[in-house]
Amino acid sequence: DAGITQSPRHKVTETGTPVTLRCHQTENHRYMYWYRQDPGHGLRLIHYSYGVKDTDKGEVSDGYSVSRSKTEDFLLTLESATSSQTSVYFCAIRAGQNNEQFFGPGTRLTVL
Amino acid sequence: EDQVTQSPEALRLQEGESSSLNCSYTVSGLRGLFWYRQDPGKGPEFLFTLYSAGEEKEKERLKATLTKKESFLHITAPKPEDSATYLCAVQAVGSSNTGKLIFGQGTTLQVKP
Protein backbone atom coordinates (compact mmCIF):
# COMPACT_ATOMS: atom_id res chain seq x y z
CA ASP A 1 0.00 0.00 0.00
CA ALA A 2 1.67 3.20 -1.19
CA GLY A 3 -0.58 5.39 0.95
CA ILE A 4 -2.28 7.14 -1.95
CA THR A 5 -5.90 8.23 -1.82
CA GLN A 6 -7.97 9.98 -4.46
CA SER A 7 -11.15 11.94 -4.04
CA PRO A 8 -13.82 11.83 -5.14
CA ARG A 9 -13.86 8.25 -6.40
CA HIS A 10 -16.78 8.91 -8.71
CA LYS A 11 -18.15 12.15 -10.10
CA VAL A 12 -20.78 13.10 -12.64
CA THR A 13 -20.80 16.67 -13.83
CA GLU A 14 -22.10 18.78 -16.67
CA THR A 15 -20.25 20.32 -19.57
CA GLY A 16 -18.79 23.70 -18.73
CA THR A 17 -18.53 23.22 -14.99
CA PRO A 18 -15.20 23.32 -13.12
CA VAL A 19 -13.99 20.09 -11.51
CA THR A 20 -11.14 19.47 -9.10
CA LEU A 21 -9.75 16.05 -8.33
CA ARG A 22 -7.52 15.49 -5.32
CA CYS A 23 -4.62 13.12 -4.81
CA HIS A 24 -3.23 12.69 -1.31
CA GLN A 25 -0.13 10.78 -0.26
CA THR A 26 1.06 10.01 3.25
CA GLU A 27 4.76 9.25 2.62
CA ASN A 28 6.27 12.58 1.56
CA HIS A 29 7.34 11.54 -1.95
CA ARG A 30 8.66 14.29 -4.17
CA TYR A 31 7.28 13.20 -7.54
CA MET A 32 3.54 12.90 -8.25
CA TYR A 33 1.73 12.28 -11.54
CA TRP A 34 -1.75 12.56 -13.01
CA TYR A 35 -2.82 10.16 -15.77
CA ARG A 36 -6.02 9.51 -17.64
CA GLN A 37 -6.99 6.05 -18.87
CA ASP A 38 -9.25 5.55 -21.85
CA PRO A 39 -10.10 2.47 -23.90
CA GLY A 40 -7.74 2.19 -26.84
CA HIS A 41 -5.30 4.74 -25.43
CA GLY A 42 -3.92 3.21 -22.29
CA LEU A 43 -2.53 5.46 -19.58
CA ARG A 44 -1.50 8.94 -20.72
CA LEU A 45 0.33 11.49 -18.63
CA ILE A 46 -1.51 14.77 -18.04
CA HIS A 47 0.78 16.68 -15.65
CA TYR A 48 3.39 15.86 -13.09
CA SER A 49 5.02 17.53 -10.11
CA TYR A 50 8.57 17.37 -8.80
CA GLY A 51 8.01 19.36 -5.64
CA VAL A 52 5.85 21.98 -3.96
CA LYS A 53 4.81 24.52 -6.60
CA ASP A 54 6.93 22.70 -9.22
CA THR A 55 4.85 21.20 -12.00
CA ASP A 56 5.17 20.43 -15.70
CA LYS A 57 3.03 19.26 -18.59
CA GLY A 58 2.60 15.75 -19.86
CA GLU A 59 1.44 14.58 -23.28
CA VAL A 60 -2.28 15.44 -22.87
CA SER A 61 -2.28 18.60 -20.74
CA ASP A 62 -4.69 20.78 -22.77
CA GLY A 63 -7.77 21.65 -20.72
CA TYR A 64 -6.15 20.70 -17.43
CA SER A 65 -4.25 22.57 -14.75
CA VAL A 66 -2.59 21.36 -11.57
CA SER A 67 -1.44 22.72 -8.26
CA ARG A 68 0.74 21.49 -5.45
CA SER A 69 0.82 23.74 -2.41
CA LYS A 70 1.77 20.95 -0.01
CA THR A 71 3.97 17.90 -0.53
CA GLU A 72 1.13 15.54 0.26
CA ASP A 73 -1.54 16.97 -2.07
CA PHE A 74 -1.62 17.20 -5.87
CA LEU A 75 -4.76 18.71 -7.37
CA LEU A 76 -6.00 18.32 -10.93
CA THR A 77 -8.47 20.93 -12.20
CA LEU A 78 -10.65 20.92 -15.26
CA GLU A 79 -11.50 24.60 -15.62
CA SER A 80 -14.48 23.94 -17.90
CA ALA A 81 -15.23 20.26 -18.28
CA THR A 82 -15.98 18.81 -21.70
CA SER A 83 -17.40 15.42 -22.70
CA SER A 84 -13.99 14.44 -24.08
CA GLN A 85 -12.65 14.58 -20.52
CA THR A 86 -14.90 11.73 -19.44
CA SER A 87 -12.32 9.22 -18.28
CA VAL A 88 -10.76 7.42 -15.36
CA TYR A 89 -8.08 9.51 -13.69
CA PHE A 90 -5.18 8.00 -11.78
CA CYS A 91 -2.67 9.63 -9.53
CA ALA A 92 0.75 8.06 -9.00
CA ILE A 93 3.83 8.64 -6.89
CA ARG A 94 7.42 7.81 -7.65
CA ALA A 95 8.91 5.62 -4.97
CA GLY A 96 10.53 2.27 -4.33
CA GLN A 97 14.07 1.00 -4.78
CA ASN A 98 14.01 1.56 -8.53
CA ASN A 99 11.87 4.70 -8.58
CA GLU A 100 8.91 2.82 -9.94
CA GLN A 101 5.49 4.47 -9.86
CA PHE A 102 2.69 3.42 -7.53
CA PHE A 103 -0.89 4.26 -8.34
CA GLY A 104 -3.94 5.39 -6.46
CA PRO A 105 -7.37 3.77 -6.79
CA GLY A 106 -8.60 6.16 -9.48
CA THR A 107 -11.46 8.62 -10.00
CA ARG A 108 -14.16 7.88 -12.55
CA LEU A 109 -15.33 11.17 -14.06
CA THR A 110 -18.35 11.47 -16.33
CA VAL A 111 -19.03 14.75 -18.10
CA LEU A 112 -22.56 14.97 -19.50
CA GLU B 1 8.92 8.90 -31.23
CA ASP B 2 8.99 6.65 -28.17
CA GLN B 3 6.32 3.99 -28.40
CA VAL B 4 5.08 0.85 -26.65
CA THR B 5 2.90 -1.81 -28.30
CA GLN B 6 1.41 -4.76 -26.46
CA SER B 7 0.02 -7.92 -27.99
CA PRO B 8 -2.35 -9.58 -28.02
CA GLU B 9 -5.03 -7.12 -26.88
CA ALA B 10 -6.93 -9.97 -25.22
CA LEU B 11 -6.01 -13.52 -24.31
CA ARG B 12 -8.20 -16.34 -23.04
CA LEU B 13 -6.56 -19.34 -21.42
CA GLN B 14 -7.72 -22.44 -19.67
CA GLU B 15 -6.44 -22.89 -16.16
CA GLY B 16 -2.99 -24.47 -16.37
CA GLU B 17 -2.41 -23.41 -19.99
CA SER B 18 0.88 -21.48 -20.09
CA SER B 19 1.38 -18.57 -22.47
CA SER B 20 3.24 -15.29 -23.01
CA LEU B 21 2.33 -11.64 -23.39
CA ASN B 22 4.43 -9.40 -25.59
CA CYS B 23 5.56 -5.80 -25.14
CA SER B 24 7.44 -4.26 -28.07
CA TYR B 25 9.07 -0.89 -27.62
CA THR B 26 10.96 1.80 -29.47
CA VAL B 27 12.67 4.31 -27.24
CA SER B 28 15.63 6.63 -27.50
CA GLY B 29 17.68 4.80 -24.90
CA LEU B 30 15.96 2.49 -22.42
CA ARG B 31 16.26 3.45 -18.77
CA GLY B 32 13.81 0.79 -17.57
CA LEU B 33 10.83 -1.36 -18.55
CA PHE B 34 8.00 -1.83 -16.08
CA TRP B 35 5.19 -4.39 -15.84
CA TYR B 36 1.96 -3.69 -13.98
CA ARG B 37 -1.17 -5.68 -13.24
CA GLN B 38 -4.55 -3.93 -13.19
CA ASP B 39 -7.74 -5.43 -11.85
CA PRO B 40 -11.12 -4.00 -12.94
CA GLY B 41 -11.97 -0.79 -11.12
CA LYS B 42 -8.54 -0.51 -9.50
CA GLY B 43 -5.26 1.26 -10.07
CA PRO B 44 -2.28 -0.50 -11.68
CA GLU B 45 -0.20 -2.62 -9.32
CA PHE B 46 3.56 -2.73 -9.82
CA LEU B 47 5.05 -6.12 -10.72
CA PHE B 48 8.57 -5.84 -12.15
CA THR B 49 11.28 -3.53 -13.40
CA LEU B 50 13.80 -4.69 -16.03
CA TYR B 51 16.83 -2.66 -17.02
CA SER B 52 19.00 -4.53 -19.49
CA ALA B 53 18.70 -7.13 -22.21
CA GLY B 54 18.90 -10.65 -20.84
CA GLU B 55 17.50 -9.69 -17.46
CA GLU B 56 14.72 -11.83 -15.97
CA LYS B 57 12.45 -11.35 -12.95
CA GLU B 58 10.04 -13.85 -11.41
CA LYS B 59 7.08 -13.67 -9.09
CA GLU B 60 4.96 -16.72 -8.43
CA ARG B 61 3.63 -17.86 -11.84
CA LEU B 62 4.94 -14.78 -13.68
CA LYS B 63 8.32 -14.33 -15.30
CA ALA B 64 9.35 -11.21 -17.18
CA THR B 65 12.19 -11.16 -19.70
CA LEU B 66 13.80 -8.37 -21.71
CA THR B 67 15.54 -8.10 -25.07
CA LYS B 68 16.72 -4.99 -26.91
CA LYS B 69 13.37 -4.63 -28.67
CA GLU B 70 10.76 -6.35 -26.55
CA SER B 71 9.76 -7.84 -23.25
CA PHE B 72 7.74 -10.94 -22.54
CA LEU B 73 5.59 -11.75 -19.56
CA HIS B 74 5.43 -15.52 -19.29
CA ILE B 75 2.58 -16.99 -17.31
CA THR B 76 3.12 -20.57 -16.21
CA ALA B 77 0.14 -22.76 -15.28
CA PRO B 78 -2.17 -19.77 -14.77
CA LYS B 79 -5.05 -19.75 -12.31
CA PRO B 80 -8.33 -17.82 -12.56
CA GLU B 81 -6.99 -15.28 -10.07
CA ASP B 82 -4.34 -14.30 -12.64
CA SER B 83 -7.12 -12.79 -14.75
CA ALA B 84 -6.39 -9.07 -15.11
CA THR B 85 -5.07 -6.50 -17.55
CA TYR B 86 -1.29 -6.46 -17.76
CA LEU B 87 0.37 -3.15 -18.63
CA CYS B 88 3.85 -2.53 -19.93
CA ALA B 89 5.62 0.82 -19.67
CA VAL B 90 9.04 2.17 -20.61
CA GLN B 91 11.16 4.97 -19.28
CA ALA B 92 13.62 6.62 -21.62
CA VAL B 93 17.07 7.65 -20.52
CA GLY B 94 16.06 11.26 -21.16
CA SER B 95 13.25 10.90 -18.64
CA SER B 96 15.40 9.55 -15.83
CA ASN B 97 15.04 12.76 -13.82
CA THR B 98 11.30 13.20 -14.32
CA GLY B 99 10.43 9.52 -14.08
CA LYS B 100 8.00 9.85 -16.97
CA LEU B 101 6.63 6.58 -18.31
CA ILE B 102 5.15 5.64 -21.68
CA PHE B 103 2.48 2.96 -21.40
CA GLY B 104 1.23 0.38 -23.83
CA GLN B 105 -2.48 -0.27 -24.17
CA GLY B 106 -2.39 -3.45 -22.15
CA THR B 107 -3.29 -7.11 -22.59
CA THR B 108 -6.46 -8.35 -20.92
CA LEU B 109 -6.00 -11.90 -19.71
CA GLN B 110 -8.88 -14.18 -18.81
CA VAL B 111 -8.16 -17.56 -17.26
CA LYS B 112 -11.07 -19.97 -17.18
CA PRO B 113 -11.31 -22.77 -14.61
Q: Return the ∠ at Cα B85 (arms to B11 and A47), rounded to 5°.
A: 140
What pLDDT, in 10s, does the model give residues A6-31?
Answer: 999 999 999 999 999 999 999 889 99
**B70 Cβ contact partners less than 8 Å away, ≥ 6 residues apart:** B22, B23, B24, B25
Which whole number is the average pLDDT over A48-72?
A: 95
Please determine, for residue A102, whether its predicted confidence score (pLDDT) is greater than 90: yes
Indicate the helix (H) or strand (E) that contains A85.
Answer: none
Q: What's the confidence (pLDDT) of residue B94?
A: 82
**Which of A91, A89, A93, A92 shows the shortest CA–CA distance to A107?**
A89
pLDDT, averaged across chain B: 95
Q: What is the largest CA-CA distance in chain B?
A: 44
| B93: helix, strand or coil | helix
Query: What CA dihedral angle connects A40, A20, A110 and A33, to 10 degrees?
Result: 20
Tell me whether B34 touches chain A (CB under 8 Å): yes
How close B33 gets to chain A, by Cα (Å)? 10
Q: How close does chain A come to B106, measured CA to CA in Å?
A: 7
| B106 touching A (Cβ < 8 Å) | yes
Work out the minimum CA distance from B64 to partner chain A, whole angstroms.
Answer: 16
Task: Render pLDDT for B21-67 as a digit per residue (tens, 0 to 9).
Answer: 999 999 989 999 999 999 999 999 999 999 999 999 999 999 999 99
Q: What is the pLDDT of residue A1?
A: 57
Nearest to A50 among B36, B49, B98 (CB): B98
Q: How far apart are CA B5 and CA A11, in angstroms?
A: 31
Q: Supply the mean pLDDT for chain A.
A: 94
DSSP code of B80?
A: G
Residue A2: pLDDT band (50, 70, 90) is: low
Strand A10-13 versus strand A19-25 pairing type: unpaired
Supply the DSSP symbol for A53: T
